[in-house]
């Protein structure tokens, strides 16, 4: 604590740097302000900072922006799962060969692992193993397209959509080793509701002419160290739709296409039912850039 004499001395020192104003233009308030400013400079006292005033309209806009951002974060969360309530979704499966992935999906449906039932099988080869399996299990079969050589009749694209969408009521379409390009009419009718499985890690080793052991031979020839199946949504081209799920297997330097195919096929039979189950349950959400994401079942 300073004595009264010391305080008076400090005050006299502090006022030495204050410029005196003519009495006609000076007021006691002005002198006090100058004195206060001078003392603060000498003793390095920090004046309290004041927060800049935000215009009411700008403040309201900022609050609205914050609420919109919060809503966007909420929408980005996991999607609501479809209530099962005993009803099953209906699947149409397309095959061109033995239909091992079709059989895996059908088995998963029978076990209750997929909340759906297969209501139709479509094929471009009426004599293939997948069609025979469907007939054994009482599943209706359709032929698309018709044979170019006139060996058997087939549906037109419009008839195919009519049969699947409106008469059989198929909710989703699954391609399981189907080698023909899907007509645009069906792609449009089942936007984000049609899946395909490919025996390679897309976007590599895909496209027209790359299927079955051709894919595995291309993988081995490339020197790739890994391969595996890809489940993706179907668009108007071969193997270019958004990727939904993949599995990875190692490629051995001594692998033959058949050996690699056998290991990849094991993963196909696991990842395809997994992806179909997510699709049927409504556990797929879409990023803003068009990438589908699977949310695990709670």
Residues marked active site are found at 198
Phi, psi of 98 (to 5 degrees): -65, -25
How is 2-58 classified by DSSP, letter by letter?
--HHHHHHHHHHHHHTSPPPPTTT--HHHHHHHHHHHHHHHHTPPPPP-PPPPPHHH
Beta bridge partners of residue 59, listed in sequence order:
none
**Separation between Cα atoms, residue 276 and residue 210, nearest integer Å:** 23
207 within 8 A of 239, measured Cβ to Cβ: yes
Residues 6+ apart with CB under 8 A from 157: 144, 183, 184, 185, 186
**Two structure tokens written together for 101:** 């992935």
Where does the chain have alpha helices with state H? Answer: 4-16, 28-43, 56-75, 100-110, 129-136, 157-161, 184-189, 213-222, 257-281
Element (H, E) at 285: strand 284-286
């Amino acid at each position: 604590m300073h004595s009264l004499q010391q305080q008076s001395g400090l005050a006299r020192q502090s006022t030495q740097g204050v410029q005196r104003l003519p009495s006609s233009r000076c007021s006691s308030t002005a002198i006090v302000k100058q004195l206060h400013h001078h003392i603060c400079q000498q003793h390095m006292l920090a004046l309290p900072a004041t927060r800049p005033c935000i215009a009411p309209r700008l403040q309201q806009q900022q609050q609205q922006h914050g609420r919109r951002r919060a809503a966007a974060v909420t929408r980005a969360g996991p999607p609501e799962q479809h209530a099962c309530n005993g009803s099953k979704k209906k699947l149409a499966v397309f095959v061109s060969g033995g239909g091992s992935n079709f059989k895996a999906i059908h088995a998963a449906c029978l076990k209750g692992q997929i909340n759906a039932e297969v209501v139709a099988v479509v094929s471009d080869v009426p004599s293939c193993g997948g069609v025979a399996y469907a007939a054994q299990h009482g599943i209706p079969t359709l032929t698309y397209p018709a044979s170019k050589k006139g060996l058997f009749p087939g549906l037109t694209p419009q008839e195919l959509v009519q049969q699947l969408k409106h008469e059989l009521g198929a909710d989703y379409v699954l391609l399981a080793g189907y080698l023909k390009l899907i007509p645009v009419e069906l792609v449009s009718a089942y936007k984000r509701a049609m899946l395909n499985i490919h025996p390679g890690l897309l976007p590599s080793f895909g496209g027209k002419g790359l299927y079955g052991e051709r894919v595995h031979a291309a993988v081995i020839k490339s020197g790739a160290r890994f391969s595996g199946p890809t489940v993706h949504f179907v668009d108007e081209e071969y193997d270019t739709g958004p990727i939904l799920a993949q599995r990875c297997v190692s490629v051995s330097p001594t692998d033959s296409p058949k050996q690699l195919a056998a290991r990849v096929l094991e993963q196909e039979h696991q990842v395809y039912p997994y992806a179909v189950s997510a699709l049927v349950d409504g556990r797929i959400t879409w990023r803003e850039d068009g990438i589908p994401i699977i949310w695990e079942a709670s």
